[in-house]
Amino acid sequence: MANDTVSAIGGATSAAETQWDLWEVFTQEGEGAPHEHAGSVHAATAEHAMQNARDVYARRGKVVSLWVVPTGAIIASAPGDAGPLFDPGNDKAYRHPQFYKTPRGVRGL
Protein backbone atom coordinates (compact mmCIF):
# COMPACT_ATOMS: atom_id res chain seq x y z
CA MET A 1 0.00 0.00 0.00
CA ALA A 2 2.73 2.41 0.92
CA ASN A 3 4.31 1.91 -2.46
CA ASP A 4 1.20 2.69 -4.42
CA THR A 5 1.56 5.91 -6.26
CA VAL A 6 -2.01 6.82 -5.62
CA SER A 7 -4.83 5.37 -3.59
CA ALA A 8 -8.43 6.33 -3.23
CA ILE A 9 -9.27 7.44 0.27
CA GLY A 10 -12.01 5.37 1.76
CA GLY A 11 -12.38 3.36 -1.41
CA ALA A 12 -13.22 -0.31 -0.84
CA THR A 13 -13.29 0.23 2.88
CA SER A 14 -14.07 -2.53 5.28
CA ALA A 15 -16.83 -0.50 6.91
CA ALA A 16 -19.80 -2.51 7.98
CA GLU A 17 -22.82 -2.39 5.72
CA THR A 18 -24.68 -0.42 8.33
CA GLN A 19 -22.21 2.43 7.95
CA TRP A 20 -23.14 5.19 5.53
CA ASP A 21 -20.70 6.49 2.97
CA LEU A 22 -18.15 9.06 3.99
CA TRP A 23 -18.17 12.52 2.40
CA GLU A 24 -15.56 15.25 2.61
CA VAL A 25 -16.81 18.73 3.36
CA PHE A 26 -15.36 21.97 1.96
CA THR A 27 -16.53 25.36 3.16
CA GLN A 28 -16.12 28.79 1.65
CA GLU A 29 -16.18 31.69 4.08
CA GLY A 30 -16.69 34.57 1.71
CA GLU A 31 -17.12 35.49 -1.93
CA GLY A 32 -13.93 34.70 -3.79
CA ALA A 33 -12.32 32.87 -0.89
CA PRO A 34 -11.12 29.31 -1.49
CA HIS A 35 -13.20 26.33 -0.47
CA GLU A 36 -11.25 24.79 2.37
CA HIS A 37 -11.46 21.31 3.76
CA ALA A 38 -13.50 21.40 6.96
CA GLY A 39 -13.92 17.73 7.80
CA SER A 40 -16.13 14.82 6.90
CA VAL A 41 -19.62 13.48 7.49
CA HIS A 42 -21.45 10.20 7.04
CA ALA A 43 -24.52 10.30 4.82
CA ALA A 44 -26.73 8.08 2.71
CA THR A 45 -27.31 10.45 -0.22
CA ALA A 46 -25.76 13.57 -1.69
CA GLU A 47 -28.62 15.71 -0.36
CA HIS A 48 -28.22 14.08 3.03
CA ALA A 49 -24.50 14.78 2.95
CA MET A 50 -25.14 18.43 2.11
CA GLN A 51 -27.51 18.74 5.07
CA ASN A 52 -25.18 17.03 7.49
CA ALA A 53 -22.34 19.22 6.31
CA ARG A 54 -24.49 22.28 6.87
CA ASP A 55 -25.49 21.17 10.36
CA VAL A 56 -22.05 20.10 11.48
CA TYR A 57 -19.76 22.63 9.81
CA ALA A 58 -21.72 25.61 8.56
CA ARG A 59 -24.21 26.60 11.20
CA ARG A 60 -22.04 28.82 13.36
CA GLY A 61 -19.52 30.09 10.81
CA LYS A 62 -19.77 32.64 8.06
CA VAL A 63 -20.01 30.02 5.39
CA VAL A 64 -21.42 31.17 2.05
CA SER A 65 -20.91 27.99 0.04
CA LEU A 66 -20.53 24.27 0.69
CA TRP A 67 -19.05 21.43 -1.32
CA VAL A 68 -19.47 17.79 -0.39
CA VAL A 69 -17.45 15.16 -2.21
CA PRO A 70 -17.63 11.38 -1.85
CA THR A 71 -14.46 10.51 0.01
CA GLY A 72 -13.84 7.66 -2.39
CA ALA A 73 -13.65 10.11 -5.29
CA ILE A 74 -10.56 11.80 -3.87
CA ILE A 75 -7.26 10.54 -5.18
CA ALA A 76 -4.61 11.01 -2.54
CA SER A 77 -0.88 10.58 -2.49
CA ALA A 78 0.37 7.71 -0.38
CA PRO A 79 2.33 8.55 2.76
CA GLY A 80 5.26 6.49 1.49
CA ASP A 81 5.53 8.71 -1.56
CA ALA A 82 6.10 11.82 0.45
CA GLY A 83 9.84 11.64 -0.14
CA PRO A 84 9.86 11.38 -3.93
CA LEU A 85 6.98 13.76 -4.35
CA PHE A 86 7.84 16.54 -1.95
CA ASP A 87 11.40 16.43 -0.70
CA PRO A 88 13.16 17.65 -3.86
CA GLY A 89 11.66 21.06 -3.40
CA ASN A 90 13.35 21.68 -0.08
CA ASP A 91 17.01 21.68 -1.00
CA LYS A 92 16.73 24.14 -3.82
CA ALA A 93 16.53 27.44 -2.10
CA TYR A 94 15.97 29.33 -5.32
CA ARG A 95 12.57 27.67 -5.65
CA HIS A 96 11.33 29.66 -2.70
CA PRO A 97 10.38 33.30 -3.01
CA GLN A 98 12.39 34.10 0.13
CA PHE A 99 15.55 33.34 -1.87
CA TYR A 100 15.17 36.55 -3.77
CA LYS A 101 15.89 39.88 -2.19
CA THR A 102 13.28 42.48 -2.76
CA PRO A 103 14.84 45.61 -4.22
CA ARG A 104 14.39 48.68 -2.08
CA GLY A 105 11.67 50.96 -3.15
CA VAL A 106 9.44 48.24 -4.54
CA ARG A 107 6.12 48.48 -2.88
CA GLY A 108 2.96 46.51 -3.07
CA LEU A 109 4.53 43.08 -3.37
Partner 1 sequence: MTTGKREAGDGKRDKVGSSVDGWVAGARPATATSGTAENPFFEYLLRLADDRLVLGHRLSEWCGHAPILEEDIALANIALDLIGQASLLLKLAGEIEGKGRSEDTLAYFRDAIEFRNAQLVELPNGDFAVTIVRQFLFDAWDVLVLERLTAASNQSLAGIAAKALKEAKYHLRHTAEWVRMLGDGTAESHARAQRALDDLWPYTAELFLRDAIDAEAVASGSGVDVESLRPRWRQTVDQVIGEATLTVPKDGFAPRGGRAGRHTEHLGRMLADMQSLARAHPGAAW
CA distance 108 to 105: 10
Q: How far is the CB of 79 from partner 1 (least distance, A)?
A: 27
Interface residue with partner 1, options 38, 43, 63, 66 (CB under 8 A) = 43
The smaller minimum CB distance to partner 1, of residues 51 and 77, is found at 51
Q: Are 65 and 34 in contact (CB under 8 A)?
A: no
DSSP state of 69: E
Interface residue with partner 1, options 1, 12, 14, 59 (CB under 8 A) = 59
The smaller minimum CB distance to partner 1, of residues 56 and 85, is found at 56
In our burial notation (b when 16+ CB lie closer than 10 A, e otherwise), range 22-41 reads bbbbbbbeeeeeeeeebebb
What residues line the site for partner 1 (CB under 8 A)?
Answer: 20, 41-45, 47-48, 51-52, 54-56, 59
